Amino acid sequence: MTALLKVEGLVKRFPVKGGLFGRVVDHVHAVDGVSFDLAAGETLGLVGESGCGKSTTGRCILRLIEPTSGQVWFDGQEVTALDKPALRGMARQMQIIFQDPYASLNPRMTVAAIVGEALTIHKLAANAQAARDRIVELLETVGLSAAQMQRYPHEFSGGQRQRIGIARALAVSPRLIVCDEAVSALDVSIQAQVINLLEDLQARFGLTYIFIAHDLSVVEHTSTRVAVMYLGRIVEIAPAKALYTQPRHPYTEALLSAVPIPDPRLKRKRIMLQGDVPNPIHPPSGCHFHTRCAIAEKGRCDVVAPVLKPVASGHLVACHLRS
Ligand code: SF4
């Protein structure tokens, strides 16, 4: 596999300020050594509970947030070493779609202005007519029409607003799109429509996706591979089919047990996780999951952090007892 994207040892710590003088008193360990490769045309599902670091990982890859350490390569170029002008050029190739399209769309701009903004910034249209034609083309590509160009975001439904966000991302002809909880705020039927659109666009333009979601059911049918994150670390990464049929990490098993099975004759035993996700300012020692793991071994799991090890072809698991 030739990697289009390579992430190596990505770390992001957010300072926590406190006291009278607002000094840095601690750090949130948001991303704690994340590594993976992604081939062109693949979709990686990045899944975990809220606060596990999946969105921060996506934003660090695009350098919307500066990583604390680690490297990101895109098409052989080290993104993490680029200066600001070079990074602006790279931004054309890597785009992001956000969870809340309403919050990410300027309410005072028309749809034409929102979708056309990137064309102006990156000088992608020779003149006003060429820009207009391209905006119409983009809107039609995502299932909207030229008649809606002069409308404002509040005049659209949630699903349509997400289509505007997709058209805006497509304007610069990117190769990689990070879909950050892109369908999480939508009703299930609208979710399916937007996922279908994203799949069609992938087939048409050869796009590569990182599909971030808190729910394993959302990424099941869209992902080539799935990575499960817990407290800043990838605990399991595998081809989608293997992860759904033969999960190896106890955390993945618990997440999967909550996914409904469409066939009512089949039953899955629900694994209830005890307690909440621990505070990422002071994550548990050793395996971060040991405070909630039913099979944790005292003196081992709480002391030594397990590393990702292969258990089958392309299937890696970070667990002392399941490798
Ligand atoms: Fe559970 Fe230990 Fe495996 Fe962590 S390393 S998932 S605590 S068994």
**pLDDT for the residue numbered 197:** 96
pTM for this prediction: 0.93
Helices (H), the chain: 54-61, 84-91, 101-104, 111-121, 128-141, 158-170, 188-205, 216-219, 240-245, 250-257
> Is the model more confident about 260 or about 70?
70
Q: To 5 degrees, how large is the angle CA 221–CA 249–CA 50?
A: 65
Q: Is the CB of 290 under 6 A from ligand 1?
A: yes
Q: Is the CB of 31 under 6 A from ligand 1?
A: no
Q: 146, 174 in Cβ contact below 8 A?
A: no
Asked whether residue 277 carries a pLDDT value surpassing 70, the answer given is yes
Q: Is the CB of 293 under 6 A from ligand 1?
A: yes
Mean pLDDT for the stretch of residues 261-271: 72
**pLDDT for the residue numbered 271:** 83
Q: What is the separation of C-alpha 54 from the centre of its chain, rounded to a whole number of angstroms?
A: 6
**pLDDT for the residue numbered 89:** 86
**DSSP code string of 51-66:** TSSHHHHHHHHTTSS-
**pLDDT for the residue numbered 260:** 73
Bridge partners, residue 15, by sequence: 27
d(CA 297, CA 307): 16
Residue 133 pLDDT class (50, 70, 90 cuts): very high
Query: What is the pairing mode between strands 176-180 and 94-97?
Result: parallel
Q: Is the CB of 170 under 6 A from ligand 1?
A: no
Asked whether residue 129 carries a pLDDT value surpassing 90, the answer given is yes
Rg for the chain, CA atoms, rounded: 21
Give the sign of the dihedral formed by CA 231, CA 234, CA 240, CA 243: negative
Asked whether residue 264 carries a pLDDT value surpassing 70, the answer given is no
Q: 105, 114 in Cβ contact below 8 A?
A: yes
**pLDDT for the residue numbered 273:** 84
Mean pLDDT for the stretch of residues 123-136: 94
**pLDDT for the residue numbered 266:** 65
Q: Is the CB of 319 under 6 A from ligand 1?
A: yes
Asked whether residue 40 carries a pLDDT value surpassing 90, the answer given is yes
C-alpha 316 to ligand 1 mean position (Å): 14
> Is the model more confident about 260 or about 211?
211
**Rounded percentage of the chain residues whose pLDDT exceeds 70:** 98
Task: Classify each residue of 267-294 as buried b or exposed e, where b means 16 or more C-beta atoms within 10 Å of its C-beta.
Answer: eeeeeebeeebbebeebbebbbbbbbbe
Q: 232, 53 in Cβ contact below 8 A?
A: yes
The chain-wide mean pLDDT, for the chain, equals 93
Give the chain's domains with CATH numbers. Answer: 3-93+174-317 (3.40.50.300)
Tokens of 80: 């993490």
Question: Which long-range contacts does 26-31 make (Cβ < 8 Å, 24+ apart)?
Answer: 26/281, 26/282, 27/281, 28/280, 28/281, 29/231, 29/232, 29/280, 29/281, 29/283, 30/56, 30/232, 30/280, 31/56, 31/57, 31/60, 31/67, 31/232
C-alpha 25 to ligand 1 mean position (Å): 30
